[in-house]
Amino acid sequence: MTIGLTHYLVVAAVMFVTGLFTMMTKRNAIGILIGVELVLNAATVNFVAFDRYLGPDRLDGQITAIFVIVLAAAEAALAVGICINVYKNLSTVDVDRANSLRG
């Protein structure tokens, strides 16, 4: 009953697919952002699991995971700013209604 690499990869695959489903079916811009966060987390779990089982001495996976977390925080900050701007212009964050480039 040893926990191996495949166990973590399968959990990450489930998280990735649910994030994809969230991005496909939500119309709220912030809901789509939450789906993106799920997908990024799944990728990070993959990086750390590969780092643990396939290259334990090199730390590459963990460093990559740190950079992914930094980029996700930056992306969330910018995306929330954009959402607030879209809300100011259109008074909704429905992505189907934000279909014009000239605000």
- Assess 91 for contact with another protein (CB under 8 A): yes
**CA-to-CA distance for 89 and 103, rounded, in angstroms?**
6
Assess 6 for contact with another protein (CB under 8 A): yes
- H helices of 1-103, where? 5-25, 29-54, 60-90
**Shortest approach of another protein to residue 38 CB, angstroms?**
6
For another protein, the binding residues in 28-67 under the rule CB under 8 A are: 28-31, 33-35, 37-38, 41, 44-45, 48-49, 51-57, 59, 62-63, 65-67
Quick check: 3 binds another protein (CB under 8 A)? yes
Count the alpha carbons within 13 Å of 31 in the hemisphere toward its beta carbon: 13
